[in-house]
Structure 1
Amino acid sequence: MDTELARTFLVVVEVGSFMQAAERLSVSQTTVTARIKTLEAQLGRTLFDRGRHGALLTLEGRRFERHAQALIQVWERAQHEVNMAPEQRQMLAVGGEQSLWSPLLLNWLVWMRQHHPDIGLRTHVEEPASLLDKVERGLLDFAVMYSPLYHPDLATELLQQERLIMVSTEPEGAISAPDRYVYVDWGDEFSRRHDQAFPTLRRSNVFVGLGPLALSFILQAGGAGYFRERAVRPYLARGELHRVPLAPEFPYPSYVVWSRERQPDGLVEAIDGLRSVLD
C-alpha cells in the first residue's frame, strides 16, 4: 500500500506550499510535485490550485482530505496489529480529549497493563468532532469525551459527573486582580457558561489548554481559575487552595462512546476498566 502519496498530500495541505512540503519531507520539490500529480491521476481530479499564494485545496481536494487521513490511520493500525506480540490477542485504538488523559485515561492505561496485558493499545488525543467521526468510521474502537452529540450508530455511557469549581491561592478565596486569573480551556460549553457569568474575565492574561498544567501553574505562581473538584480537593484540605465564595459551579460530565455494530474482542474489558478506575 503506497501511503507516501497520501502523506505528501496532507503535508502540502498543512504547510500550504509544495516547496515547504519538500523541506518538511526532506525530498526535492520535483518529488512532491510528481507525487501529487500521480495522486491526481489516480483520482482523476485536480486536488490543488497553485498560485503565488501557495497551494490551495480545490473542492475535490477538500473532499479527499478526510479520506487521506483515514488511509494513513488504517495503514498504521494494520501495521500495529500485524506486528503484535504473540501473547497479545487484540489491539484496541482508543481516543480521548486532551484534558481527560490526566488522570482518568492515564490511570486506565495502568489498569489495563496490570489486568489485561494481552490487549494491545493505540492511543490518540483528538478534538470532540474528530473523535466521534473516527469511532463512527471504525478508526477508533472507543473514545472518552465530554458532552458527545447524539448519534444513532454510537452507544454512549456516562462515566463520571464532575464539577468545575473556582479556586484561588489567595486567603478566603479572593481574586486579587483580574490579571491573576487563569482561563482554563474546558471546552465550548464551559466557555459559554463561564463568559456569561464572568464577562470581565474573558480576556485573561493567561490562557491554558490543559487543566493539570494550569493547576500546577497557579500553585507555583499564584492566582485563581476553574478546576475539577476532585483534582483540587487535596489542596483545599491542606489549605493550599481556597474556594472562591459565591462563584458558580459548572457541570463537567465525561462519557465513553463506541460503535453499536463494531465491538471487537477486548472492548468489554476495556470499558470495565474505565469504570474500575473511577471507583
Structure 2
Amino acid sequence: MDLDAVRTFVAAVDAGRFQDAAAELSITQQAVSKRVATLERILGVSLFTRTGRGAKLTIDGQAFLPHARDLLRAEERALASVRPGRRALRVDVIGRRLAPAGLLRGFHRAFPEVELDVVTLFDADAAIDAIRSGTIDASFRAVAMPGLRLPDDFGAARVFDEPIQLLTGPDHALASARAVTPADLAGYRIWMPGIVPGTEWAAYYDALADAFGLTIETTGPDFGIEPLLDTIADSRSLVTFVGEETRLVWPAGHGLRRIAVRDPVPVYPHSLLWHRDNPHPALASLRDHLRSGLSDRPETETWTPVWAQ
C-alpha cells in the first residue's frame, strides 16, 4: 500500500479540507486529490464525500481511518528501529535462555520506559564488529578470552559472575548429590556438543578442564538444547554443565538434576562491551543498573580462568 497516499488521507481527515491538507503536506491541492483517488482505487471504495464545506468521511472512510493511523504508526516504529539517535537500545545477549538475557530483563523491569531491541550474535568478533559499526549498542561477552584484544575506543565492565552447575539424569551416579566439587568430577564424561573452538565459551571450558583435570567431550553434532537434555536424561554416564541462570524446561519424566558445584565455585565472567563514543541516552542507564547489581551475590570461594581475573 502507498503510505504517502495513506498519510495524505489522514491529513485530509484531520484538516477537514483538501486545501488545508495540501498546505500541511507542502504539496498542491491537486496532488492531495490525486493521492486520495489512488488510495480509493486501491481499496475499491470511496473514502470521502465532497461537500461545499470540505470533505466528509464515508462509512468506508470511517472504517479505514483507525487502520490508516496504525499503518503510519507502524511506519514510524520501523524507521525508528534503524534510525541512529532514535532507535531502541540494541543489545546482544549471546542466547535468549542465558544469563545475559536475564540481566537485560531485569534492566527492562527497572526501566520499562526504555525501548529495547534484543539480538543474538555468534561470537565476540561478530559483536565487536557490530559495536564498532553502530549496528548494536552493547554486548555481553567474556571479553578477556585469549587472543581477543578490544579496540582502544571500547569500554568494558565485568557485570556478572555466573556460577556453573552440573546437570545429570536421574540414574547417574551423581544424581543424588546435593553439591560436588570440581575435583569430584575428574573421570566423569562431561558432554558439551555446543562448544565451538575459538569461541569465548570454548576458552572458558578448556581452562576449567585444565585446572581440575576434567574430561569435556565436544564430539557429535549439536542439535540444540532439547536433544541434549533428552540424551542427558537417559544416560548413566554423561553429564553436562549449565549456567545457574540458564533457563531450562524439560518434560517431567526426564527427572533431570541441577547440582551445585562448590569449593571452589566455577563462575563464568560476563562483561558488558560498548563503544565509548556511543551517544545512545539509555546506554549509561544500562551500565549503572548492571554495576549496582554486582554486590548482590554473597562472598564465596570462586574460580575463573586466569585470563578473566
TM-score, structure 1 normalization: 0.50
Partner Cα separation in structure 2 for residue 172 and residue 113 of structure 1: 38
Structure 1: stretches of 5+ with no match in the other structure:
1-77, 233-237
> Could you give the per-residue CA deviations for residues 157-178 of structure 1, whole angstroms, max 9, x where no partner exists?
0011234354433133698x98
Query: Does residue 1:271 correspond to 2:267, yes or no?
Result: no
2:193/2:222 contact within 8 Å kept:
yes
1:131 alignment counterpart: 127
Letter in 2 for 1:102: R
> Could you give the per-residue CA deviations for residues 130-167 of structure 1, whole angstroms, max 9, x where no partner exists?
10111122221111112253321011000112343544
Structure 2: stretches of 5+ with no match in the other structure:
1-74, 176-183, 248-254, 297-309
Counterparts in 2 of 1:208 and 1:226: CA distance versus 1, 3 Å: farther
Q: Secondary structure at the match of 2:115?
A: strand
Partner Cα separation in structure 1 for residue 213 and residue 174 of structure 2: 19
Percent identity over the alignment is 15
Q: Secondary structure at the match of 1:262?
A: coil
Mapping 1:175-186, distance limit 5 Å: 181-185=191-195
Partner Cα separation in structure 2 for residue 182 and residue 209 of structure 1: 11
1:181/1:205 contact within 8 Å kept:
no
1:146 alignment counterpart: 142
Query: Does residue 1:190 correspond to 2:204, yes or no?
Result: yes
> Could you give the per-residue CA deviations for residues 77-106 of structure 1, whole angstroms, max 9, x where no partner exists?
x9757447xxxx7621211323xx324343
2:276 alignment counterpart: 260
Q: Secondary structure at the match of 1:130?
A: helix
CA deviation after TM superposition for structure 1 residue 255, in Å: 0.3
- Corresponding residue to 2:257 among 240, 253, 266: 240
Partner Cα separation in structure 2 for residue 216 and residue 202 of structure 1: 15
Q: Whose helix proportion is higher, 1 or 2?
A: 1
2:91 alignment counterpart: 94
CA deviation after TM superposition for structure 1 residue 109, in Å: 4.4
1:172 alignment counterpart: 174
1:118 alignment counterpart: 113
CA deviation after TM superposition for structure 1 residue 240, in Å: 2.8
Which entry has the higher C-alpha Rg, 1 or 2?
2
1:33 alignment counterpart: none
Query: Does residue 1:228 correspond to 2:223, yes or no?
Result: no
Partner Cα separation in structure 1 for residue 76 and residue 291 of structure 2: 30
2:191/2:217 contact within 8 Å kept:
no
Mapping 1:67-82, distance limit 5 Å: 80=77, 82=79
1:136/1:153 contact within 8 Å kept:
no
